[in-house]
Copies of this chain bind each other. A is one copy, B any other.
Amino acid sequence: MSKKKLAILLRARMTSSSNHSAKSPLSLFHKEIPSNPQENHSGDHIVRHSSDLDNTGRVYDVVRETMHSAISASKTGVSDITLNHFQEGYSSLSLEDRRKLLLALAKEYDVNREQVRELIKQYLGLETPVASDDDDAELLLHSSPKKETALSSVFYRVEWNLRHALKPTYESFFERLNTHPGGLRFLSILRADLLSILTKENMPSLRALDSYLKEKLGMWLSPATLELHQITWDDPASLLEKIVAYEAVHPISNLLDLKRRLGIGRRCFGYFHPSIPGEPLIFIEVALMETVAQTIQEVLWDNPPIPENQAACALFYSISSTQPGLAGINLGKFLIKRVITLVKKEMPHVSTFATLSPIPGYMQWLLSKLSSQSRFAEEERGGGGTQSNPSSSTFSEKVLLPEEEQALMSLSDDSSSGSNGIEVLLSFLTQKNCDWATSPRILPVLEPILMRLCARYLLQEKKRGKALDSVANFHLQNGAMVERINWMADRSEKGIHQSGGIMVNYVYRLENIEDYAQSYFGSGQIHASPGIHSRL
């Protein structure tokens, strides 16, 4: 049916624009109707315009219908052509039409809840098979086998049916797309759209669709399916161009810069998925150094500081993921371990594997911590003897040490006043232009405070048992330890803004990677050097 409609639309287009008749049926999705010399004579712009609108609506309808036939075809009966039509049709839609389509997908191809309720009724009416250890179970099976067997067969069948009924109808659609050429890539674009819609409005049905898709993508992109490749200057320009576009940590300014990142003294590795050829899902840049770098300036050299054969340290200075639609899916798992193995093979003389990493969440956390503490303190003062808000004393904590409090108060002047250390610190950190970072008077006072609180942030602040900082969480789950934090390691505006200019070295020790990753996953334990611990 959808094919027929497509054909009709196509024919309509071909007659109205004969110079495009050689194009594929898919060109119908390009909404710009090419000017046609024959039609120009009619001069009726209003008609042209309404037919444009009409076509846009028709294109939406066709895409919607293609989606319907792709979902409702029997399990393996959906044709490649239908899926291609859908993918290309979807790509031609405006974001508003995509939103409409995704909402239709989420709502109309959701779980069949009538069926679920029916099956729940059956399920609750059945006896649960006796849970017992295997010996008892064997006895049971051998003593009154027939009836018991029949009963639990029914139970397992109903449970199976219920489990399947709870899957949304759109699941099979995702699965079909996944096994379709280009489908995985397409699903990642579709999820990027979903995420962008969800940041603007919270729609539970769309959120459910997103959770489901995220779970599926996470399964399909398991580390077992990813291939590690070294990216070099010999790779196709189409791939290198993507490295330039996606480099998120230290932007690549031009091709020469890129050539340097892939040249002597450096390496670049990417994780590729066979279904998304020609671009890495995540890539990592490595610099070969004598020692572990403390500032980003040491790493972003134009000419290699040492010959490669004198390198003792491989420094991971940038890790970028490329697909916004894969947000929240841990693609980096095992990446570093595998990169280390490769580097070690090529250069056995490299013995230290470390990162120089940003701490993207530090300032945000610190500012919010300081604000809430300052608020609590104010409430306590306001309430006088009787506490106006009992929660304030519960949540208030000593953020600053007495000597830090004192040092901050001594800095207080007209530009940054406050009735206590927290307020002074807050006023410095929220100054426009981050003047504190260039002031010889303020900087030495803030250094020990910001460094201590940074160690606390990295080692102690958690969310659901994992490090609050996303980059810390990435490396810790890969089996790293927190080795050292470096003052004024990134003086760029972004660096000062994100983390007060502090950067951190995570270190990977081959002999500990597996154990550290496991204890981090198991109990959230964060391994750190004595140097870091002593700052707490």
Contacts and interface: CB of A to CB of B under 8 A. Distances in A.
Contact of A134 (B108, B156, B224): B108
A163 B110 CA distance: 13
A155 interface: yes
A193 to B, nearest CB: 15
B156 A166 contact: no
A457 to B, nearest CB: 24
Given A203-B141, A522-B77, A179 B222 contact: yes
A137 interface: yes
A27 B104 CA distance: 58
B103 A521 contact: no
Contacts of A204: 129, 149, 152-153, 155-156
Interface in A74-117: 74-81, 100, 103-104, 107-108, 110-111, 113, 117
B120 A132 contact: no
Interface stretch (A205-213, A309-317, A319-327, A358-366): A205-213
A518 interface: yes
A521 B75 contact: yes
Nearest to A111: B159
Contacts of A117: 124
A283 B134 CA distance: 40
Interface string A188-201: 00000000000001
Contacts of A107: 131-134, 137
Nearest to A178: B224
Interface in A127-144: 128-129, 131-134, 137-138, 141
B79 A514 contact: yes
A491 interface: no
A74 B522 contact: yes
Contacts of A208: 156, 159-160
A76 B522 contact: no
A295 interface: no
A160 to B, nearest CB: 7
Contacts of A79: 514, 518
A289 to B, nearest CB: 30
A246 interface: no
A477 interface: yes
Interface string A233-255: 00000000000000000000000
A343 interface: no
A407 interface: no
A166 B155 contact: no
Query: Lowest 7 CB-CB distances: which A-B pairs, in order?
Result: A77-B521, A152-B204, A179-B224, A156-B208, A163-B166, A104-B134, A153-B204
